[in-house]
Homo-oligomer: A and B are copies of this chain.
Amino acid sequence: MYFSIELKFNLNSGIGILKINIYDMNKFIVLLWLLYSGCCIAQPVLKKDSIQLRNIYTTALVEGQSYTYIDYLSNQIGSRISGSLQEKRTVEWGVKTLKSIGATAVRKEPVTVPKWTRGVTEFAYIESQAGTTTNVPICALVGSVATPLGGIKAEVIRVNSIQGLREIGSAAITGKIVFFNAVMDAHQIDPFEAHKAIETLYNYGAKEAAKFGAVGVIIRTANLVLDDIPHTGVVRYEDTPNTDKIPVAALSTNGADLLSGMLALDQKTRFFFNMNCKNWKAVSSFNVIGELKGSETPNQYITIAATLDSWDIGDGSQSDGAALAQAIESIRILKAIGYAPKHTIRIVLLADGVQSQQGFKAYNQSITSKKEKQLLFLYNNTGGFTPRAFGVTAKDAFKKQLQGWFDSFQSYPIDGFTTNTSVLKFDTECPMVRLKTDPQRYFEICRSSLDTFKAINTREVALGAAAMTSVLYLMDNN
């Protein structure tokens, strides 16, 4: 007499079978006990979540498509600012791609978006009193008005903050170009923290300087690296009357140091810049939406979102082509591992992520008016770098639930769940989780001509996609 035991392992990519024949009853009992102990020890490792997370990561790393998607977005479409032909192409590509990976209810929902064009390449120089000039690299901020035809030349008043304008006062500012030369605070570990003060200048510097009679604004580029690359951003004139809007451009960090140095030698140093960018009437665009319908509670939604537009400089590979690719990839991965969600998993490719978040606002309005139950809104707008953590905006109970998932990520590794600092706000109850990627390279690359496909590392992007897919899975299955 003998016993035969067949052990079947359902592992990442295949099934292993171990067959054992036993001819001795004592040995059989020992074996049973060993198997039992083994299972007890192995349980944390073999439990369903761990296996599925491993499946997700393997799919992303071994046969991932994020890199291919970004390649298409960057090299076939290119930068895709709202209102551009490239943005229209991205909408159509989004619809086609979502259908091709098996998303259902794929649709476009209309959104009105701003349209701004950069025009011909900007041009700027610093001019000494003696009339010698040095060219410096600038770029208009998205939303800026043009300079007067032929450009504008004026003396320069240097300040570091909006408060600085008030201290100097109108008399010294009127008729001049305001030069905000705030240096990004290198001592911050997280460059996004250091960026906040500079972003205020990008957004509101022109509005405030205009109040003091400035004729133009030049801002030191938000970059921790000294180089010749100007980085764009968004200007918000808000309630400034059209006639009072003044042109605003970013100047490379090296250019800013040069201008600063020349002003220190001679306050009469002048700055010239020429831009023929233009704000057009708002135009029609779309949010692109698709779903994996839930098998148990299809009217409860877990959403992954990404921005389908990009900055118009570079080709938008890191900001935010990577996140767009990762969002689509997360749906593809769930299909690839054969996961059937309990709740409906929805993907939303949002229009106008760069300028005024009209796509997000439209989506917010839609779920509020439909009173849809939203379990999670997951997104990434920190580029396709190595994933480090998740930022969370939610009630404490939800945060506790997330903390419980943390163990699942120990092997991958994600540092943890931290506070979110997103500008996005829902009118309705909806926990938000944002992937936080390693932030050190973001401001060197993004929003500039350096943000091209070359800046993408396929492993880093794949790991981000896997981390996001894992959150979708954990939310759905827990």
Contact = CB atoms under 8 A, between A and B. Distances in A.
Contacts of A188: 61
Interface of A: 12, 57-58, 61-62, 186-189, 191, 224-225, 386, 388, 411-413, 415, 438, 440-441, 444, 457-460, 463
B62 A458 contact: no
Nearest to A63: B186
A441 B415 contact: no
B438 A386 contact: yes
Contact of A12 (B62, B187, B459): B187
A265 to B, nearest CB: 24
Contacts of A386: 386, 438, 440
Given A62-B186, A186-B61, A441 B457 contact: yes
A261 to B, nearest CB: 19
Contacts of A411: 189
A58 B463 CA distance: 30
A440 B191 CA distance: 21
A225 B186 contact: no
A440 B457 CA distance: 8
Given A61-B186, A61-B189, A386-B438, 10 more contacts: A61-B188, A62-B187, A189-B412, A225-B458, A415-B415, A440-B457, A440-B459, A440-B463, A441-B460, A444-B459
Nearest to A440: B459
Interface centre among A187, A386, A415, A460 (most CB of B within 10 A): A187
Given A386-B386, A415-B415, A457 B438 contact: no
Contacts of A444: 457, 459
Contact of A187 (B58, B186, B413): B58
Given A415-B415, A438-B386, A459 B191 contact: yes
A280 B91 CA distance: 62
A189 B463 contact: yes
B415 A413 contact: yes
A58 B187 CA distance: 5
Contacts of A458: 224-225
Contact of A61 (B187, B225, B438): B187
Contacts of A61: 186-189
Contacts of A57: 187, 189
Nearest to A67: B225
A441 B413 contact: no
A137 to B, nearest CB: 19
Nearest to A460: B440
A31 B58 CA distance: 59
Contacts of A191: 459
14 contacts: A57-B189, A58-B187, A61-B186, A61-B187, A61-B188, A189-B411, A189-B413, A224-B458, A225-B458, A413-B415, A440-B459, A440-B463, A441-B459, A441-B460
Nearest to A224: B459
Nearest to A13: B187
A187 B57 CA distance: 7
A368 to B, nearest CB: 36
A438 B186 CA distance: 21
A67 to B, nearest CB: 9
A162 B272 CA distance: 67
A81 to B, nearest CB: 27
A62 B186 CA distance: 5
A462 to B, nearest CB: 8
Contacts of A460: 440-441
Nearest to A188: B61
Nearest to A438: B386
Contacts of A412: 189
